[in-house]
Structure 1
Amino acid sequence: MTSPQDLLQQLDAQDIHYQRFDHPAVFTCAEASMLAPLPVGLPSKNLFLKAGKTGRYLLLCLPASARLDLKALGELLAIKNLGFASAERLLAALGLTPGAVSLLAVINDRAGLVDVIIDQTVAQHDTILCHPLVNTSTLAINTGDLLRFLDSCHHPARVMPLPCLPS
């Protein structure tokens, strides 16, 4: 698995610029919102889902305040039994623990089992915030650069409006 330091070296090698913010460990969006100074960018969250019995996974990025409608997403993507993946599956597939889920983690998906979906609202912002494989740091990365990084990891992002429940 790629270490956080190796990831940063990969980003540098690909000329992907980022602003790094180190902070105490955060496990939820609510905890992250308490950080000062807040990184520039739309507060977002990442969800790691198991795509039924297909053996595949979804890594979603959506606004932090959004509540995903899991049933509607399953219907939209024609995936039966879509649900949250266990901590064990997250560790096996992406080398992460809960609280550190990040789009950047696809660098560890050497088996090619993870599909990336970014909510259209998030993708429309200039900057996306990502943990660099640990929840004690946050990177503010230009959206175009992040999409380029995902492509380089053979995980092109699908950008679409994700179905959310009313707040």
Structure 2
Amino acid sequence: MPASRDDLMSFFAELGIDVSTVDHQPVFTVAESGELHDQIPGGHTKNLFVKDKKGRLFLIVALHDAEIDLKKVHQIIGAQGRVSFGNADLLMEVLGVEPGSVTPFSLINDREALRVTPVFDAAMMQHEILNYHPLKNDASTAIRAGDLLKFARACGHDPQVLAVSEEAKAAGL
């Protein structure tokens, strides 16, 4: 059974991570979330659940407006050949969330199998505060960038902070 929002919030509390959550209408795409950006301070994000030719899974997390070249990103993240999007069934099986609700917080559901490699864009990690769905797309939870790393590591993952976006590469991050 995937973790619930309450489970996630309890895990944050156990780790001593302060977060704040704002409930809102469900948003399924970055385009739909535009109005929230003015209402909720911090970096707003997108999440790409992808797999390589050998079936390795990656969760690429970047700022909402980041440009990521999916034809070349495999060279940066260490994937075998080009990546493609993982389907909804695989997403639910591995991270316990539905499309439109993908979030690095879903790593809480991959603590045993450790099937996903989280990749956090270097440009995104320059923001002090970042916003992600707390496992469902009807709320946004703000977390400090350093605490995001702490959370991912507490889930057993070693997140890679890499310049996957064009913006990060241009800034030399």
Fold shared by both chains (TM-score > 0.5): yes
Summarize deviations over 1:111-156 as a string: whole Å, max 9, x none: 1110000110001110111111010011010111111011110112
Is the aligned partner of 1:151 residue 2:150? Answer: no
Is the aligned partner of 1:8 residue 2:44? Answer: no
Shift of 1:38: 2.2
1:134 maps to which residue? Answer: 136
Is the aligned partner of 1:25 residue 2:29? Answer: no
Structure 1 stretches of 5 or more lacking a match?
Answer: none
Q: What fraction of aligned residue pairs are identical, expressed as a percent?
A: 35
Counterpart CA distance in 2 for 1:85 and 1:131 is: 19
The structure-2 alpha-carbon separation of the partners of 1:37 and 1:72, relative to structure 1 and needing over 3 Å to count, comes to closer
1:46 maps to which residue? Answer: 47
- Tell me if the contact between 1:42 and 1:128 (Cα under 8 Å) persists in the aligned partners: yes
Number of residue pairs matched by the alignment: 164
- Tell me if the contact between 2:66 and 2:165 (Cα under 8 Å) persists in the aligned partners: no
Counterpart AA for 1:72: K
Counterpart CA distance in 2 for 1:36 and 1:161 is: 23
Counterpart CA distance in 2 for 1:115 and 1:78 is: 10
Shift of 1:3: 1.1
Is the aligned partner of 1:66 residue 2:66? Answer: yes
SS in 1 for 2:72: helix
Counterpart CA distance in 2 for 1:136 and 1:47 is: 18
Summarize deviations over 1:82-124 as a string: whole Å, max 9, x none: 1111111101110110110000101101311100001100011
- Tell me if the contact between 1:72 and 1:163 (Cα under 8 Å) persists in the aligned partners: no
Counterpart CA distance in 2 for 1:38 and 1:45 is: 17
Structure 2 stretches of 5 or more lacking a match?
Answer: 168-173
